[in-house]
A and B are shown apart, each in its own frame.
Chain A
Amino acid sequence: MSTARPKARHRRRTAVRAGVVVLAATALAACSSTGPATTDRTGIIIGRAMDVNSLDISRSLCDTCQIYNSAVYETVVRATPDGELEPLLAESWEANEDSTQFTFTLDPDAVFADGSPVEAKDVAWSWLRVQNLQGLPSYFMQGITGVEATDDRTVVVTSAAPNSAFLNITSASYMGVVNSDLAAENGATADADAASTDTAEQWFLENSAGSGQYVLDSYSEGSEIVLSANDSYWGEEPNFSSVTIKEVTDASAQLQQLQQGDIDLAMQISFDALDQIEGDSSLTTDVVPSYNFLYLALSPGVAGGEALQDVRVRDAIRMGIDYDSVIDATLAGNGERQSTGIPNGFEGSDDLPIPDFDPEGAKALLAEAGYPDGLTLDATYPTFSAYGVSSNTEMQSIQQSLAQIGVTLNLAPVDFSTWGEQIDSTGYPVTAIYFAPDHPDTVQYFQYFSLIDGSVWAGRARMPVNPEENSLVAAALAQSGDERTATYTELGQLMYDDAIILPIVNPKYILASSAELEGNNYDITRNLDLTRLTFAD
């Protein structure tokens, strides 16, 4: 044998060993992970399961959109945590006596991120675009017949009928004002045919055109939205150099990342983890009421829902639900019962009756309605997890409750798309879904849940319009102050009596963040108000 072979073998072994050493060194170096370039600590990272359906403010409608829109755009007025309106882009505003005309006077100092002034034409253009795109928030402009810039600083809005809710509606994040010149240069239009001619939605995925504290830096769908501070901001300086909203879909992953310091704030922590967070000194937490709710919807007019045409049966179902057990099962007790389709805390909700679990009363009502042996109903609902509640757990718990009064609920969980295929065609006798507010006015609940013309659930339940509710909504929109509150309460009582929408739980909300962060909040129009958040000194 030649001597070359051992040498070659030795070289190969040396090469293999060297390779192993390099690999191990790389792995060790990687695990030690020292110092790649990072963003400034003055930037905040928010973890949440994102539900973005558009970054075009006039097409968007989602919880994450509320955070984004309000960070990047500004509305003419803003709703305070107490439900009052205060100036933002408008320094003053007024409504005429019958609430059919609204005049806004803009702050002369307001400028967009590109330095150009915020003018009345931008406001008019933005709101007309919301209306004409016929996108998801277009119903905010329902009944508005004119939006006109009478000079550089004055906008006049005209409504066909009294609409005292409009001022509240303008505080919704979706009504933010867009730099019309910039957006129009990139395919946006507010013309009457905008629904078919506007081509700007993709542009808005990479750009923003607002006057807010932040501008869009980058968006990676399914990963993160990165905002950076608007250097030209005309108001109070932003509290963060950047805001990153990071996609963390799972509640337990949000908890882990919060504990490890990889995110500063977690928005969908499960109540199961509350004890764990409260025992961690590096974190801070609070449990606050929310305006979200989950409800059971009864549709007497659809096939299979005939028994529900008797309001006593609907009442019996409401009385047959053991709310406390359902709230314990879904939210470990962290929720409230709610009267009807107006969440607790909204104008008009204070004096409404709260449903009680009364199985004997429910059985008596069923017997009176001709169902002494109970009845069977099909409940088809979408599978979801919203505001900490799993629809499967919720419905299984309701099924157990109703079994006690002789009502057999046949549960059929389906995918959201499948549910959507039939909800507005053949419909479902019983279903379950959830609702979160879009703006701070109670009228949205009548428009959606009551038995008035155009109401979504009047249509889905196949119920005739209630003329009294119709006229009360019209009356409320011409009123203000205590008078309107009283009308809203009266409407709420009628909705309660209809027993079409049966709220199951109004979940509480966990504010969880790093202990270094102050001002964590739940905001009705912004979802999370970044202006109230700051790192402790």
Chain B
Amino acid sequence: MLRFTLRRLALIPLLLWGIVTIAFFLSRSVSSNPLVTIVGERNLGNPDVVAAATRRWGLDKSLPEQYWVYLSNLVHGDLGTSFRTKSPVLDDLGARLPATLELAFTALVIAVVLGTLGGVVAARNKGRAADGVLRVAALAGSSLPVFWVGLIFLFVFYATLGIAPSPGRLSARVIPPPDVTGFYTVDSLLAGDWPLFTDAFAHLLMPAFIMSLALLGTVIRLVRSQMLEEQGADYVRTARAKGMARGQVLNRHVLKNAITPVVTLIGVSVGLLIMGAVLIETIFSWNGIGTYAVESSRGLDFPAITGVCLVGGVLFLLGNLLTDIAYATIDPRVRLS
């Protein structure tokens, strides 16, 4: 497994180079003008301002020159400076990524825990009311658009009932914890500030739950179908014939085998959750990488667009690698090669 892991890790720089190259040229191939973001509509007709901005941001260079400068800087860990925020892209990503990771990780935990429980309950109650309710819930979770669910939840639980906290990562006037990990829940615990933790956790719950819905529905259906399939296997009949209780067979053997495809699903979903966070982040004022990606794209902020693609690529590649490793660990029959 070590050789496999090292070989895959060695391939990552090459794949990232491919991602960066495609993102670099694709973003510049659109027939739009990034100077609108830089100088604004008013100054587009001001030749002095346009010339100064073009020089300052390196847009006076040819495309191959710009590409070479970008790669040279990238090798030194410099992802360029955002046209829009005027900050180094690396700093922007560093500031926003933890917010998205915290949200996505929580959504993942909710989806896996509740999805597995739901799948088991549905399988154990096949054909009964509980099964029907869970199947409908799973279908709704997978098919309802998250922006709609998000707006409805906010309207009902925040604006109308007043029982959910405001959009954002913390309540108004609450002072954020000292920055250690960038995860407010973790940082508040590290600071030993329980009230701050509860505030951060409360703000995290609703967006994370809504973000998890699509995956939650998929996990419920997957676990249910895998459990039902495994229940008919020979080893289950053998275990039951030997006198093992049904619950024990399901929990110890069937669930273990049924959960394996969920691991693959998680691996694929990590990247999708993070890069698909934009809607939830926009609705819940969550200043993460999703909103950054959208704003950068709208403003043709070339360095930021390429930076986001790079981070997305890293997350996808690492997610896939970890999935392969986890898969082999859970199922010894799988051999990595």
**A, B co-complexed:** yes
A 220-264 to B, binary, CB cutoff 8 A, 1 in contact else 0: 111100000000000000000000001111000100110111110
Residue B66, interface by CB 8 Å: no
Is A420 touching B202 in the complex (CB atoms < 8 A)?
no
Quick one: which of A1-58 are within 8 Å of B by CB? 26-27, 29-39, 41, 43, 45, 53-54, 56
Residue A411, interface by CB 8 Å: no
Smallest CB–CB gap between A282 and chain B, Å? 13
Of B43, B55, B166, which one neighbours A196 at CB under 8 angstroms? Answer: B55
Q: Which of A74-82, A94-102, A133-141, A521-529 contacts B (4 or more CB under 8 A)?
A: A133-141
Of B36, B46, B86, B163, which one neighbours A31 at CB under 8 angstroms? Answer: B163
Q: Which of B215-223, B272-280, B287-295, B308-316 contacts A (4 or more CB under 8 A)?
A: B287-295
Of A45, A253, A456, A460, which one neighbours B167 at CB under 8 angstroms? Answer: A253
Contacts of A31 in B (CB 8 A): 163-165, 202, 205
Is A37 touching B42 in the complex (CB atoms < 8 A)?
no
Is A53 touching B158 in the complex (CB atoms < 8 A)?
no
Is B36 touching A248 in the complex (CB atoms < 8 A)?
no
B 125-148 to A, binary, CB cutoff 8 A, 1 in contact else 0: 000000000000000000000000
Is B198 touching A33 in the complex (CB atoms < 8 A)?
yes
Contacts of B154 in A (CB 8 A): 256
Smallest CB–CB gap between B133 and chain A, Å? 20
Q: Which residue of A lies closest to B288 (CB)?
A: A222
Q: How far is the CA of A459 from the CA of B47 in the complex (A)?
A: 12
Q: How far is the CA of A45 from the CA of B173 in the complex (A)?
A: 8
Contacts of A246 in B (CB 8 A): 168, 172
Of B42, B172, B298, which one neighbours A262 at CB under 8 angstroms? Answer: B172
Q: How far is the CA of A138 from the CA of B47 in the complex (A)?
A: 12
Q: Given the interface contacts A37-B196, A433-B41, A456-B46, does A262 sit within 8 Å of B32 by beta carbon?
A: no
Is A417 touching B45 in the complex (CB atoms < 8 A)?
no
Is B43 touching A29 in the complex (CB atoms < 8 A)?
no
Q: Which residue of B lies closest to A62 (CB)?
A: B40
Of B33, B48, B158, which one neighbours A256 at CB under 8 angstroms? Answer: B158
Contacts of B3 in A (CB 8 A): none
Quick one: which of A415-460 are within 8 Å of B by CB? 415-421, 423-424, 433, 448, 456, 459-460
Q: How far is the CA of A38 from the CA of B170 in the complex (A)?
A: 10
Smallest CB–CB gap between B170 and chain A, Å? 8
Q: Given the interface contacts A202-B87, A220-B95, A417-B298, does A249 sit within 8 Å of B34 by beta carbon?
A: no
Q: Which residue of A lies closest to B281 (CB)?
A: A222
Which range holds the interface residue count of chain B?
Answer: 35 or more
Of B46, B56, B163, B291, which one neighbours A222 at CB under 8 angstroms? Answer: B291
Q: Given the interface contacts A39-B173, A196-B55, does A423 sit within 8 Å of B44 by beta carbon?
A: yes
Of B34, B37, B168, B195, which one neighbours A35 at CB under 8 angstroms? Answer: B195
Is A36 touching B174 in the complex (CB atoms < 8 A)?
yes
A 190-205 to B, binary, CB cutoff 8 A, 1 in contact else 0: 0000011000011001
Is B195 touching A195 in the complex (CB atoms < 8 A)?
no
Is B35 touching A262 in the complex (CB atoms < 8 A)?
no
Residue A61, interface by CB 8 Å: yes
B 164-190 to A, binary, CB cutoff 8 A, 1 in contact else 0: 111110111111000000000000100
Q: How far is the CA of A23 from the CA of B127 in the complex (A)?
A: 30
Is A26 touching B201 in the complex (CB atoms < 8 A)?
yes
Smallest CB–CB gap between A135 and chain B, Å? 7
Is A54 touching B48 in the complex (CB atoms < 8 A)?
no
Is A37 touching B193 in the complex (CB atoms < 8 A)?
yes
Of A41, A221, A417, A424, which one neighbours B85 at CB under 8 angstroms? Answer: A221
Smallest CB–CB gap between B164 and chain A, Å? 8
Is B173 touching A424 in the complex (CB atoms < 8 A)?
no
Q: How far is the CA of A261 from the CA of B84 in the complex (A)?
A: 31
Is B48 touching A260 in the complex (CB atoms < 8 A)?
no
Residue B285, interface by CB 8 Å: yes
Quick one: which of B149-169 are within 8 Å of A by CB? 154-155, 158-159, 162-168
Residue B239, interface by CB 8 Å: no
Q: Which of B81, B88, B95, B285 has the most C-beta atoms of chain A within 10 angstroms of its own C-beta?
A: B285
Is A256 touching B42 in the complex (CB atoms < 8 A)?
no
Of B33, B41, B195, B282, which one neighbours A36 at CB under 8 angstroms? Answer: B195
Contacts of A62 in B (CB 8 A): 40
Quick one: which of A167-202 are within 8 Å of B by CB? 195-196, 201-202
Residue B39, interface by CB 8 Å: yes
Quick one: which of B21-62 are within 8 Å of A by CB? 30-37, 39-46, 48-49, 51-53, 55-56
Of B33, B55, B166, B291, which one neighbours A257 at CB under 8 angstroms? Answer: B166
Is B287 touching A223 in the complex (CB atoms < 8 A)?
yes
Residue B199, interface by CB 8 Å: yes
Is B52 touching A419 in the complex (CB atoms < 8 A)?
no
Contacts of A53 in B (CB 8 A): 40, 84
Is B45 touching A424 in the complex (CB atoms < 8 A)?
yes
Smallest CB–CB gap between A36 and chain B, Å? 4
B 88-129 to A, binary, CB cutoff 8 A, 1 in contact else 0: 100010011000000000000000000000000000000000
Beyond the given A33-B198, A37-B193, please list 15 additional residue pairs across the A-B interface where CB-CB is below 8 A: A32-B198, A33-B199, A36-B196, A37-B174, A38-B171, A39-B173, A138-B48, A195-B56, A196-B52, A202-B81, A221-B95, A223-B287, A256-B158, A417-B30, A417-B300
Residue pairs across A and B with Cβ atoms less than 8 A apart, 18 shown, are A30-B202, A31-B164, A33-B199, A36-B175, A37-B175, A45-B173, A223-B287, A249-B282, A253-B167, A253-B285, A259-B159, A415-B298, A417-B298, A419-B36, A420-B36, A433-B41, A456-B45, A456-B46
> What 9 pairs between A and B have smallest CB-CB spacing?
A420-B36, A417-B32, A30-B202, A134-B52, A456-B45, A421-B33, A36-B196, A420-B33, A223-B287
